[in-house]
């Protein structure tokens, strides 16, 4: 409701009152982010003392901040001046070695950790994974799975036997045999109906197989560490979307006899009858449901989609047409269920939707499929980082001592083996030794959530990938100009803040004598426009806002209202110029104690204004009333004096020939 015109944005009503000091800092920092850049080897466009700004550096900053303009020449020349002033201030900060301040160095380290991962993948590969995940998210596939187990240490005879069984099963399925249970039993296989699966439902290698099948098609046998797998696609449908439901579960154990099962069914039937007669679902769920995770919440389950629960459960749920609909009691391996539909969200069909892109990227980055993109990226960067396998240690010794490192738990062991001090991998600026490899082995294999039984050879390949990526990350600014630029602009933005605080902002705020003298000299500049004393009321909901307005109109004190509804209402009392107030009653058609309309905010809150007293324009502001404005103007004076001194210390020269090439 309050327009902070100096900041160029809307101030949230309960944050900061109009404060030019705050605005000046905000504008300066925003400018810093855009202005900061890295030095490049190209034509010089600006020099200041012994320091220069390249054409490339200037263009990078200008293009990042430019907006459509009618006069390109004026825009570029204005930016040359703006950028020159910025570089002078940063130079002053460097002269004072502000970049060595512990807090700024900590900020820099934290920022680097926040952004470096954004540069640690092949963008094309990541985009391809996002596109693939989106396409697959539109389709559910009814999938059958046959698995013929093979132990990792199985004999050659057992392995061949399992292979032949997989081929026999595949041939029968491909030939159209649909007696699945009998086929599985006769070929040493386990059989399961997975129901409808969607993207992220299965491990990525299995998902690739399933989404490569047409309806009623059978996959060729796939060998994993645990056996042979064959998938069959029975049917395809549009993705089922996201569902919110509540359930009442009358559970019985897997080995329950008929009497126990029938007792559970009768109880479920009785509950269903009560629901049809109008009983509250949540109340009955709390009383009767055996689902320990949901019964206290009225049976409400976390939102889910295809492939999350047993097919027999999802099949019943996905038949519910409207919110509030109930299933009849139905049985699964867990007991008897009664489900109520609470809500449904269809799968997004617009890939360009930012929320869709964000969610997909988060899921892809947390899924095993990202390992493929990282592996590809790691191979691509090896030439850049100077990777080479050093010959000092044989492969068989690397693998042999990896086993020894797991047998010898004493910490010092990994530094005492014959390979510990020998270099095994080389990069452009440093080497890794055998002890680094053994430390990796011990940490990786000791993490049972991470270690999946990989062989030492597989772990060696993983170590090459991980160590290559880690070296690249540690030296990222040497290989990626965008990252280098982002680090530099953050660093210079922090330095600018510190030097402005020291030489302008704090200095102005503390100089009370200078402020009052400036106010007296320029007193006529600080007059009120048409203004008013107002209450700005922000409520947690539209309903609460109406209740507060009614209470105020009935004569209730706003302080009493805040005390009674402190968690739902905040009220700000101040004088504002009418031009700052965005509302429907700026003209005071109803005079004193009039109200604006209630405005619903994007975050779900609601805001309105009560007008207490109106003031004509041209009333003189007192020093205290004008203090924020005076500080802002006084800061500008101090800043200009400081810049004048810097320009004497570092004379600025602009390469006019280069400027003209930018104007063309």
| pLDDT tens-digit map of 249-284 | 999 988 899 999 999 999 999 999 999 999 999 999
Residue 459, CA distances (Å) to 95, 389, 399, 443 in order: 49, 15, 9, 12
Note whether 111 and 322 are within 8 A (CB): no
Confidence check: pLDDT of 15 > 50: no
Kindly report the CA angle at 220 between 189 and 214, in degrees rounded to 5?
A: 110
Measured distance CA(197)–CA(310) in Å, rounded: 11
- The residue that leads in pLDDT, 497 or 352, is 497
**Residue 370: which pLDDT band, with cuts at 50, 70 and 90?**
confident
- pLDDT value for 480: 92
Looking at 369-508, which runs of residues are DSSP E strands?
A: 388-389, 423-426, 431-433
Q: What is the DSSP letter of 414?
A: G
**Residue 28: which pLDDT band, with cuts at 50, 70 and 90?**
very low
Measured distance CA(524)–CA(522) in Å, rounded: 6
Confidence check: pLDDT of 336 > 60: yes
Measured from the Cβ of residue 469, the count of other Cβ atoms closer than 10 Å reads 18
- pLDDT value for 353: 85
Q: What is the mean pLDDT of residues 611-620?
A: 92
Measured distance CA(234)–CA(192) in Å, rounded: 13
Instruction: Kindly give, in sequence order, each residue whose CB lies less than 8 Å from that of residue 224, ignoring residues fewer than 6 positions away.
Output: 205
**Residue 117: which pLDDT band, with cuts at 50, 70 and 90?**
confident
Confidence check: pLDDT of 593 > 80: no
Note whether 88 and 37 are within 8 A (CB): no
Buried-exposed string 160-197: b where 16+ CB fall within 10 A, e elsewhere = eebeebbebbbebbeeeeeebeebbeebbbebeebbbb
- pLDDT value for 26: 45
Q: What is the mean pLDDT of residues 417-424?
A: 97
H helices of 251-394, in order, are: 258-276, 281-288, 311-317, 354-366, 370-385
Each residue's pLDDT tens digit, 435-444: 999 999 999 9
Confidence check: pLDDT of 597 > 70: yes
Rounded to the nearest integer, the mean pLDDT of the chain is 90
Q: Comparing C-alpha atoms, which of 317, 312, 311 is closest to residue 299?
A: 317
Lowest-pLDDT range of 25-34, 228-237, 238-247, 540-549? 25-34
Note whether 307 and 197 are within 8 A (CB): yes
Residue 142, CA distances (Å) to 138, 147, 150, 223, 237 in order: 14, 17, 26, 22, 8
Each residue's pLDDT tens digit, 372-408: 788 889 999 999 999 999 999 999 999 999 999 999 9
- The residue that leads in pLDDT, 459 or 584, is 459
- pLDDT value for 582: 60
Measured distance CA(205)–CA(62) in Å, rounded: 46
- pLDDT value for 587: 42
Q: What is the mean pLDDT of residues 357-367?
A: 88
Each residue's pLDDT tens digit, 505-517: 999 999 999 999 9
User: Starting from the edge strand earliest in sequence, which strands make up the sheet with 431-433, in order?
Assistant: 388-389, 423-426, 431-433
Residue 491 three-state SS = helix
Q: What is the mean pLDDT of residues 180-184?
A: 96
Q: What is the mean pLDDT of residues 362-370?
A: 88
pLDDT above 90: percentage of residues in the chain? 76
Confidence check: pLDDT of 585 > 50: no
Confidence check: pLDDT of 613 > 70: yes
- Domains plus CATH for the chain? 18-95+480-526+623-664 (1.10.4030), 139-238 (3.10.50.40), 242-345 (3.10.50.40), 368-477 (no CATH), 529-620 (3.10.50)
Note whether 115 and 483 are within 8 A (CB): yes
- pLDDT value for 591: 56
Q: What is the mean pLDDT of residues 539-555?
A: 94
Confidence check: pLDDT of 246 > 80: yes
Measured distance CA(298)–CA(279) in Å, rounded: 13
Each residue's pLDDT tens digit, 130-174: 999 999 999 999 999 999 999 888 899 999 999 999 999 999 999
Each residue's pLDDT tens digit, 206-222: 999 999 999 999 999 99
Measured from the Cβ of residue 384, the count of other Cβ atoms closer than 10 Å reads 14
**Residue 121: which pLDDT band, with cuts at 50, 70 and 90?**
confident
Each residue's pLDDT tens digit, 50-72: 999 999 889 988 988 777 788 99
């Amino acid at each position: 409701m309050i327009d902070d015109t100096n900041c160029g944005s809307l101030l949230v009503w309960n944050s900061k009152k109009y404060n030019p000091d705050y605005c000046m800092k905000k504008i300066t920092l925003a400018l810093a982010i855009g202005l900061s850049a890295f030095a490049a080897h190209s034509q010089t466009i600006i020099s200041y003392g012994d320091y220069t700004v390249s054409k490339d550096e200037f263009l990078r900053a200008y293009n990042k901040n430019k907006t459509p303009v009618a006069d390109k020449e004026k825009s570029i020349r204005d930016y040359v001046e703006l950028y020159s002033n910025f570089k002078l201030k940063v130079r002053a900060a460097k002269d004072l070695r502000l970049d060595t301040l512990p807090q700024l160095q900590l900020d820099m380290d934290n920022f680097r950790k926040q952004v470096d991962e954004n540069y640690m993948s092949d963008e094309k590969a990541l985009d391809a994974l996002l596109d693939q995940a989106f396409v697959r998210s539109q389709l559910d596939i009814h999938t059958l799975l046959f698995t013929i187990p093979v132990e990792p240490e199985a004999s050659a005879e057992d392995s061949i036997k399992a292979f032949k069984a997989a081929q026999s099963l595949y041939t029968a399925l491909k030939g159209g045999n649909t007696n699945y249970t009998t086929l599985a039993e006769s070929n040493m296989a386990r059989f399961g109906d997975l129901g409808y699966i969607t993207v992220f439902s299965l491990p990525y290698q299995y998902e690739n197989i399933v989404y490569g099948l047409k309806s009623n098609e059978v996959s060729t046998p796939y060998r994993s560490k645990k056996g042979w797998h064959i998938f069959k696609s029975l049917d395809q449908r549009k993705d089922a979307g996201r569902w919110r439901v509540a359930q009442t579960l009358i559970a019985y154990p897997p080995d329950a006899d008929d009497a126990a099962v029938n007792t559970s069914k009768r109880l479920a039937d009785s509950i269903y009858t009560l629901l049809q007669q109008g009983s509250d679902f949540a109340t009955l769920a709390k009383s009767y449901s055996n689902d320990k995770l949901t019964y206290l919440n009225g049976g409400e389950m976390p939102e889910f989609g295809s492939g999350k629960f047993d097919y027999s459960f999802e099949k019943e749920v996905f038949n519910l047409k409207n919110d509030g609909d109930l299933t009849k009691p139905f049985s699964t391996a867990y007991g008897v269920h009664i489900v109520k539909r609470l809500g449904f969200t269809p799968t997004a069909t617009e890939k360009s939707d930012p929320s869709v892109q964000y969610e997909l990227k988060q899921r892809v980055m947390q899924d095993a499929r990202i390992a493929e993109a990282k592996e590809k990226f790691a191979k691509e960067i090896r030439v850049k980082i100077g990777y080479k396998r050093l010959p000092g240690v044989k492969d068989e010794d690397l693998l042999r001592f990896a086993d020894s490192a797991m047998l010898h738990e004493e910490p010092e062991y990994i530094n005492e083996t014959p390979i510990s001090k020998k270099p095994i991998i080389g990069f452009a600026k440093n080497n890794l030794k055998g002890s680094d490899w053994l430390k990796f082995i011990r940490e990786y294999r000791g993490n049972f959530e991470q270690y999946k039984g990989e062989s030492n050879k597989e772990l060696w390949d993983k170590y090459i990938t991980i160590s290559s990526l880690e070296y690249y990350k540690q030296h990222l600014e040497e290989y990626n100009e965008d990252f280098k630029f982002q680090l530099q602009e953050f660093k210079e933005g922090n330095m600018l803040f510190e030097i402005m605080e020291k030489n302008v902002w704090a200095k102005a705020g503390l100089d009370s004598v200078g402020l009052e003298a400036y106010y007296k000299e320029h007193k006529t500049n600080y007059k009120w426009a048409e203004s008013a004393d107002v209450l700005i009321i922000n409520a947690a909901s539209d309903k609460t806002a109406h209740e507060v307005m009614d209470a105020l109109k009935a004569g209730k004190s706003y302080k009493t209202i805040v005390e009674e509804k402190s968690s739902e209402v905040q009220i700000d009392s101040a004088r504002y110029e009418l031009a700052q107030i965005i509302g429907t009653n700026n003209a005071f058609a109803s005079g004193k104690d009039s109200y604006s309309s209630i405005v619903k905010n994007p975050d779900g809150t609601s805001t309105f204004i009560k007008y207490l007293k109106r003031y004509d324009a041209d009333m003189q502001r007192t020093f205290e009333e004008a203090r924020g404005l005076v500080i802002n103007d006084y800061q500008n004076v101090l800043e200009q004096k400081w810049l004048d001194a810097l320009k004497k210390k570092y004379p600025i020269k602009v390469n006019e020939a280069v400027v003209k090439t930018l104007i063309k």
